[in-house]
Amino acid sequence: MTQISTNIVDHLAEQKEYTTLNLGPTHPATHGIFQNILKMDGEIIVDAESTVGYIHRAFEKLAERRPYYQITPITDRLNYCSSPINNMGWHMTVEKLIGAKIPKKVDYMRVIVMELARIADHIVCNAVIGVDTGALTGFVYLFQQREFIYEIYEEICGARLTTNIGRIGGFDKDFSPKTWDKIKKFLKEFPLALAEFQSLLERNRIFMNRVIGCGPISAERALNYGFTGPNLRAAGVDYDVRVMTPYSSYEDFDFIIPVGTHGDTYDRFMVRHEEMCQSLRIIQQAMDKMPEGPCHADVPDFYLPEKQDVYNKMEALIYHFKIVMGETDVPVGEVYHSVEGANGELGYYLISDGGRTPFRLHFRRPCFIYYQAYPEMIKGSMLSDAILTMSSMNVIAGELDA
Amino acid sequence: MGMTEAQQETIINAINTHFNHAVIKHEVLYDMFTVTLRKDAVIPAIQWLYDNEEMKFRFLTTMCALHYPDQKDELGMMYQLHSLENNLRIRIKTFFPKDLPVMPTLTGLYSAANWMERQEYDFFGVEFKGHPNLKRILNVDDMVMHPMRKEFPLEDQTRKDKNDTMFGR
Amino acid sequence: MSILEKPNYTLANKPDGVEGTGYFVTSLDKAVGLARKNSLWPLPFATSCCGIEFMATMGAHYDLARFGSERLSFSPRQADLLMVMGTIAKKMGPVLKQIYEQMAEPKWVLCMGACASTGGIFDTYSVLQGIDRIIPVDVYIPGCPPRPEQVIEGILHIQELAHNESLRRRDSPEYKAMLNEFGIE
């Protein structure tokens, strides 16, 4: 081997020409519409620039023109892999604003729905990590289970994806016996499928070689970039809104917050995997401890009365009319409420001026905030690792662009 | 999440002494301690909260711009900080006139502020001095308006098929 | 087609023709239509929520492979069917049009969901109010998002179109005039 003097190496480095590669906005490997303009040195990424906004839908402006109960469908479309969490977060924000007292039973029902949604979201993310490493089988197994979660949603609210579950104040109706049966069935069958998925990937040497050390981020940088959710926990920070500021009676349940150490793709994968197991535990506890009581709070200004009463009682008719026409008055105030969404702290900053619509509604969208770290995370890695890093970050275009 | 009164006092006194009585208003809004500051003191105050060894407000939860058309200082910014170690949250607000929508940037302290500031520039036209790459992020580059300001319409203006006579809009 | 009358969806029916020992004669149109119908290669242009429902349609439960459309073509050059799923923002519009132009004839467009068809609930400054403002659409699927069954029905409708299309349609002046209306040469 000939010795090359450092001068020549430096000289070559100056002369080096980089390739510019345009990844996206509709590249099949990006799982959503993000554009990344990569500066490549052969197969190595030297620099990257992200462009977002390809499905900007103006949620915040739209929310300023809608009565409170009509904002729920907008929140569905934020992180559409786990829309129930977004719905519940919004309902809880409004309940905090109006000071509603929520029965324990509603809290527990919400916990069940939210944890199901978390599982559904993590299934998408982890299955897609599998697909990107070439393991399509896991995707097929887990998506079959995801259909069962959809079936449970359908029993509760009638919709599959954009669920619109619940109302401000609680649920429109109690869970039917069939729903309970389906949840029980899911709790029995899903752990088996999850174990099968785990055995396919967790100790698979090809998979491990592919994802360990891929797209790492340190805890310090992650915090500086405003990471939350599984991505932050994979970097080793045990911040979880469910524990830090418990909402919806999360303090009643016993569960573990899994944390990683390196913040690489493998850690993110494993954290999500463990969270699914913990979610199952939470659902089981909520079912065991389910209290008796009404399935909604006593907030006639926001919660639609029974149809029977609307036909027969004057008061109910008035409330019904006021809610449907969006003429309910709310207190003046500013409230911030956050829930642990499937990919981080999902916050709602609501300013009410007492009118029928919010004066300003700002969503703290976890994806939007942590996706800006993407160029830093992929610098110096291979192109195929960049794809994996993106899928393991669980970036959802609808939430990112709002 | 709620901050004790002693802690609130400490913060107000510290900001007032260090930054020449910059606190305009302070209140507790639904368990969130909110201070309204003069514009020039916002970034130094956030830096002070970051450096403070006791409080350790080292996580930027979110920021957003505000627009109150009826106010003298129409536009505003809201920053929300979180101390993960002590689990305390604080909201910092500031207001400035619409014809001079300039704010110093926070990107030096928090990398997360980069896109958040670009978003607020896009939505409200708040210009962040010192931002490394201040351009539109969500909307198309050639858009002229800042759509989240209250005077701009929400609806797409090119639609011809809407008949509003029945809806009284 | 009304909802009540059930279309006869049988796969790969033998077309009309003359048959004898060892031979079968039919017109080229019908043979090509049969082949095209059962081997549509979709290009999934998934932008948001509807894309997740499409993933469910591709999954084991609904299994689009039963209809000969399991081979997704991510390259527009090899695709027959452009499936637009999800909101198309104004920023995305030119990209979509470019992809449509890159596809080789014959090509069909399936528009899935309310957002892509009309803008849906997003009547806002940033959303394109229906993709038929920039490209021609063959089949619309309503719903927000549509159920996988609806997606399958939409694909079956596309199959009917592909099956019955004349081989000369894409060369006709009417077709060219229609494309010109959208500013596509």
Among candidate residues A184, A129, A128, the one with its CA nearest the CA of residue A151: A184
pLDDT on residue C4:
66
Question: Torsion angle of alpha carbons A113, A363, A31, A125, nearest 10°?
Answer: -40
pLDDT on residue B1:
57
A245 touching chain B per CB within 8 A: yes
Task: Tell me how far CA of residue A16 lies from CA of A6, A47, A49, A85, B100, in angstroms.
Answer: 15, 14, 20, 49, 45
Q: Mutate which of B152, B156, B160, B164 to disrupt the C interface (most C C-beta within 10 Å)? A: B156
Q: Tens digit of pLDDT for each residue in C58-104?
A: 888 888 888 888 888 888 899 999 999 989 999 899 999 999 999 99
> Residue written as tokens 């609307």?
A310
Strands A35-41, A19-23: pairing is: antiparallel
What pTM does this model have? Answer: 0.91
Query: Per CATH, is B5-153 categorized as 3.30.460.80?
Result: yes
Using pLDDT thresholds of 50, 70 and 90, give the confidence band for residue B128: very high
Q: Which of these ranges, A8-12, A316-320, B82-86, has the smallest mean pLDDT?
A: A8-12
DSSP A82: G
Cβ <8 Å between A77 and C91: no
CB A96 within 8 A of CB A89: no
Cβ <8 Å between C124 and A61: yes
The residue range of the domain holding A286 is: 68-401
> What span, in angstroms and rounded, lies between the C-alpha atoms of A266 and A211?
5
CATH number of the domain encompassing residue A83: 1.10.645.10
pLDDT at A2 over 50: no
> What span, in angstroms and rounded, lies between the C-alpha atoms of A344 and A81?
13
Average pLDDT score over residue span A2-12: 58
DSSP C41: -
CB A57 within 8 A of CB C126: yes
* ipTM score assigned to the predicted complex: 0.92
Question: Torsion angle of alpha carbons C102, C107, C113, C117, nearest 10°?
Answer: 80
Residues from A in contact with C at Cβ < 8 Å: 25-28, 32-33, 53-58, 61-62, 73-74, 76-77, 80-81, 124, 139-140, 143-144, 146-147, 150, 160-162, 397-398, 401
Order the strands of the A19-23 sheet from edge to edge.
A19-23, A35-41, A44-51
Task: Tell me how far CA of residue A250 lies from CA of A109, A158, B1, in angstroms.
Answer: 11, 26, 15
> What residues contact residue B122 under an 8 Å CB cut-off, 6+ apart?
B136, B137, B138, B139, B146
Cβ <8 Å between C52 and A57: no
> What span, in angstroms and rounded, lies between the C-alpha atoms of A49 and C84?
26
Q: Tens digit of pLDDT for each residue in B13-61?
A: 999 998 888 899 999 988 899 999 999 999 999 999 999 888 889 999 9
What is the interface size between B and C, counted as CB pairs within 8 Å?
A: 26
Please give the span between the terminal C-alpha atoms of chain B, in angstroms, as a whole number. 42
Contacts of C94 in chain A (CB under 8 A): none
Q: Tens digit of pLDDT for each residue in B131-144?
A: 998 999 998 888 88
> What span, in angstroms and rounded, lies between the C-alpha atoms of A217 and A377?
6
CB C62 within 8 A of CB A143: no
Using pLDDT thresholds of 50, 70 and 90, give the confidence band for residue B127: very high
Contacts of C93 in chain B (CB under 8 A): none
Contacts of C61 in chain A (CB under 8 A): 143-144, 147
Q: Does the residue A3 lie in any domain?
A: no
Neighbours of B33 (CB within 10 A): 22
Computed over every residue of chain B, the mean pLDDT equals: 89
What proportion of chain A, given as a percentage, has pLDDT over 90? 59
Average pLDDT score over residue span A305-319: 92
- Contact partners of B by the rule of 3+ C-beta pairs under 8 A? A, C
Helix (H, G, I), strand (E, B) or coil at A220: helix
Taking each continuous run of H as one helix and of E as one strand, the counts in chain A are: 18, 6
Computed over every residue of chain C, the mean pLDDT equals: 87
pLDDT at A47 over 80: yes
Task: Tell me how far CA of residue C146 lies from CA of B58, C42, C57, C116, in angstroms.
Answer: 44, 17, 11, 12
* Alpha carbon of A144: minimum distance to chain B alpha carbons (Å): 35
Query: How is residue A226 written in tokens?
Result: 């405003």
Q: Tens digit of pLDDT for each residue in C104-137?
A: 988 999 999 999 999 888 889 899 998 999 999 9
What phi and psi values does residue B74 have, to the nearest 5 degrees?
Answer: -70, -45
Give the best-scoring range by mean pLDDT among A16-30, A131-145, A283-297: A283-297
**Distance, CA of C47 to chain centre:** 16
CA angle in degrees (0–180, nearest 5) for A29-A34-A36 = 85
Q: Does the residue A50 lie in any domain?
A: no
* Alpha carbon of B16: minimum distance to chain A alpha carbons (Å): 24
Helix (H, G, I), strand (E, B) or coil at A257: coil
CB A347 within 8 A of CB A364: yes
Taking CA atoms, what residue in B is nearest to C119? B156
B157 touching chain C per CB within 8 A: yes
CB C77 within 8 A of CB C102: yes
Cβ <8 Å between B154 and C119: no
- How many domains are contained in chain A? 1
C32 touching chain A per CB within 8 A: no
Average pLDDT score over residue span C4-33: 81
Computed over every residue of chain A, the mean pLDDT equals: 89
Taking CA atoms, what residue in A is nearest to C99? A26
Task: Tell me how far CA of residue B123 lies from CA of A320, B111, C36, in angstroms.
Answer: 36, 20, 47
Average pLDDT score over residue span A255-262: 93
What phi and psi values does residue C19 have, to the nearest 5 degrees?
Answer: -125, 145
Cβ <8 Å between B154 and C90: no
CB C95 within 8 A of CB A25: yes
Q: C32-181: which CATH topology?
A: Rossmann fold (3.40.50)
Cβ <8 Å between B112 and A362: no
Task: Identify the helix (H) or strand (E) that includes residue A344.
Answer: strand A344-352
C119 touching chain B per CB within 8 A: yes
CB C60 within 8 A of CB C88: no
Please give the span between the terminal C-alpha atoms of chain A, in angstroms, as a whole number. 56
Taking CA atoms, what residue in A is nearest to C119? A57
> What span, in angstroms and rounded, lies between the C-alpha atoms of A207 and A270?
12
